[in-house]
Amino acid sequence: MADTGTIASLATAGGTLVLAIATFSSTRSANRAARISEQALKVGLRPVLFNARPQDPPQKVGFIDDHWMVLREGLAAVQEYEGSLYLAIPLRNVASGIAVLDGWYLWPRRATTEPPPLISTGNGSFRRLSRDLYVPAGDVSFWQAAVREHDDPLYAPLLEAIKTRTPISIDILYGDHEGGQRTITRFYMSPRSNTDEDPWLWLCSTSRHWNLDRADPR
């Protein structure tokens, strides 16, 4: 005859095991749901920048020294004026999160496969912007920079590129409005040919994106 105490103990152990399995499955499901929700939140905050389209509206860009230029037809600006060098790129945010621009790095030539210095060396070679620039989700704005000091290491090579009309590349560092999901987008600018109208307006295109805070999908 079976011992009722043993049967009760086995039943209790079995019930505890079933409860533990159910709890484990529930916890796994909850963790999975939390990860999915977190990923969805990040996607909702993530910005992705491209150059503006030719049909986007013109944008008036002003500099601290009261120099002004108008970006139109998706064209970038590369200009030498009274000894100062001015750069501007019209941007379109194609994602659902606000883009906050943080820094930039200039290649006085066409950069192709070279990774940005922030990735390859981690030495912080990117220059900080002097003011906050935002690109709304699904809308347009711009990036701007100026090199005025003649002893600046960028001045001579950039001036030479402007005078010889050599294509240049700009890496722009930006992230979401919470300071995360940092991304670097490379823009390629080249002078237009056979035009005397506003020769400082150059063609602009987007070539590559690098993710700094998550795995690169490529």
Dump pLDDT digits (tens) for 150-193. 999 999 999 999 999 999 999 999 999 888 899 999 999 999 98
> Which pLDDT score is estimated for 23?
65
Asked if residue 24 has pLDDT above 90, the reply is no
> Which pLDDT score is estimated for 141?
97
State mean pLDDT over 53-82. Answer: 96
Average pLDDT, the chain: 85
Residues 6+ apart with CB under 8 A from 81: 67
- What percentage of residues in the chain have a pLDDT greater than 90? 63
> Which pLDDT score is estimated for 126?
92
Instruction: Render pLDDT for 75-132 as a digit per residue (tens, 0 to 9).
Output: 999 999 999 999 999 999 999 999 999 999 999 999 988 888 876 555 568 999 988 8
User: Domain map of the chain by residue range?
Assistant: 1-45, 49-211
Q: Can you tell me the distance from the alpha carbon of 113 to that of 208, in angstroms, rounded to the nearest whole number?
A: 9
Q: What are phi and psi of 172, to 5 degrees?
A: -110, 125
- Structure-block tokens of residue 170: 């700009």
CATH fold of 49-211: Immunoglobulin-like (2.60.40)
Asked if residue 19 has pLDDT above 90, the reply is no
The three-state secondary structure class of 8 is helix
> Which pLDDT score is estimated for 214?
78
> Which pLDDT score is estimated for 166?
96
> Which pLDDT score is estimated for 115?
86
Asked if residue 41 has pLDDT above 50, the reply is no
> Which pLDDT score is estimated for 25?
58
Question: Left (φ > 0), alpha (ψ -120 to 50) or beta: where does 36 sit?
Answer: alpha
Q: What is the pTM of this model?
A: 0.79
Asked if residue 209 has pLDDT above 50, the reply is yes
Asked if residue 62 has pLDDT above 50, the reply is yes
| 110/29: higher pLDDT | 110
